[in-house]
């Protein structure tokens, strides 16, 4: 399976996927890292892993669609089959969503549909929930809103802080994301089924 990872930050999820591929636990190859922050830690990780990198600065472009068309051309040239968002801090527009509908994943640090958007762990703690978790879902045009592919739950204990929960969430993410990608590669998760599932509102 030919995949591209999109990330904006430290890239620990990128690393987990790259490590799983290197260890032979993943029938997938990372063909490209796409990063909107040229100085992000994930760029160095990609270089270390020998993964080609495409960085860009959004402000150099007149619109999101313009930089996404450039990205799409590279994805097509590299025959990327699956796009994996891993801490990519930008809204994805129709340009990429339509081209990769049903073939673009995101990982989010809450049990969606609870707590979409920024600071999901902080939102969950402020709300006082006793259970939170991690969701992997297909990307549609909305904010953390596409069909859900996999979830893992974790308990929040009385003494927990944002840092302690974030650490446990990351550990879960680093196992779950490679597992989901492998399940897609082997066909035990069928993306066509998830992509064709009617939404709750029946549309």
- Residues recognised as catalytic: 108
Closest chain position to ligand GRF (CB):
87
Contact 111, 135 (CB under 8 A): yes
For the CA atoms of 95, 97, 102, 106, what is the dihedral angle to 10 degrees? 140
Candidates 86, 121, 117; CA nearest to 11 is 86
Q: How far is the CB of 86 from ligand GRF (least distance, A)?
A: 5
The contact set with ligand GRF (CB under 6 A) reads 7, 9-13, 86-87, 107-109, 173
Nearest to 97 by CA among 62, 63, 66, 72: 72
The alpha carbon of residue 56 and the mean position of all alpha carbons in its chain are separated, in whole angstroms, by 18
Binding site, annotated residues for (6R)-10-formyltetrahydrofolate = 64, 89-92, 106
- Known binding residues: 11-13, 64, 89-92, 106
Distance of CA 13 to the CA centre of its chain: 8
* CA–CA distance, 115 with 109 (Å, rounded to integer): 9
In the bound state with ligand GRF, the residue whose beta carbon lies nearer, of 12 and 93, is 12
Q: Closest distance between ligand GRF and the C-beta of residue 11, in Å?
A: 5
For ligand GRF, give the closer residue by CB, 142 or 196: 142
Q: Decide whether 71 or 134 has the Cβ nearer to ligand GRF.
A: 134
CB of 35 vs ligand GRF, minimal distance in Å:
10
């Amino acid at each position: 399976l030919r995949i591209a990872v999109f990330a904006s930050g430290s890239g620990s999820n990128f690393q987990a996927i790259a490590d799983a591929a290197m260890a032979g636990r993943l029938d997938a190859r990372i063909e490209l890292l796409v990063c909107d922050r040229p100085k992000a830690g994930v760029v160095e990780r990609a270089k270390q892993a020998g993964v080609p990198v495409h960085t860009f600065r959004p402000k150099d472009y007149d619109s999101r669609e313009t930089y996404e068309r450039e990205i799409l051309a590279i994805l097509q040239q590299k025959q990327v089959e699956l796009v994996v968002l891993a801490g990519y801090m930008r809204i994805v527009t129709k340009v990429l969503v339509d081209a990769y509908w049903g073939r673009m994943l995101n990982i989010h640090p809450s049990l969606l549909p609870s707590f979409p958007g920024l600071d999901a762990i902080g939102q969950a703690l402020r709300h006082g929930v006793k259970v939170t978790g991690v969701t992997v879902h297909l990307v549609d045009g909305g904010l953390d809103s596409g069909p859900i592919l996999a979830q893992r739950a974790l308990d929040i204990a009385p003494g927990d802080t944002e840092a302690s929960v974030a650490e446990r969430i990351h550990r879960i993410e680093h196992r779950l994301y490679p597992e989901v990608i492998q399940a897609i590669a082997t066909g035990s998760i069928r993306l066509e089924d998830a992509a064709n599932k009617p939404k709750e509102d029946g549309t």
